[in-house]
Amino acid sequence: MNHLLRNYCSIIRESAPKRQYICQLIYAHCSHDLQLRIKVVQSLKKHLKSDEIVYCCHAFLISNEEVFNEQWFDVFLYYALIGITNPKVNIRVYSLNVLNTIARHNADSILDITDKIYAISRENHWEIKAQCLEFAITVLNSYRNMSHLLTT
Q: pLDDT tens digits, residue range 2-50?
A: 788 899 999 999 999 999 999 999 988 888 888 988 898 888 989 998 9
14 part of a folded domain? yes
Query: pLDDT per residue over 59-91, tens digit each?
Result: 999 988 888 778 888 889 999 999 999 999 999
Q: Write out the E strands in 75-120.
A: none
Residue range of the domain that includes 70: 2-147
This prediction has a pTM of 0.86
> Is 139 contained in some domain?
yes
Indicate the number of domains in the chain. 1
* Residue 82 belongs to a domain: yes
Please list, in sequence order, all residues whose beta carbon lies within 8 angstroms of the beta carbon of residue 67, skipping any fewer than 6 positions away.
105
pLDDT band at 152 (very low <50, low <70, confident <90, very high): low
Q: Does residue 152 sit within a domain?
A: no
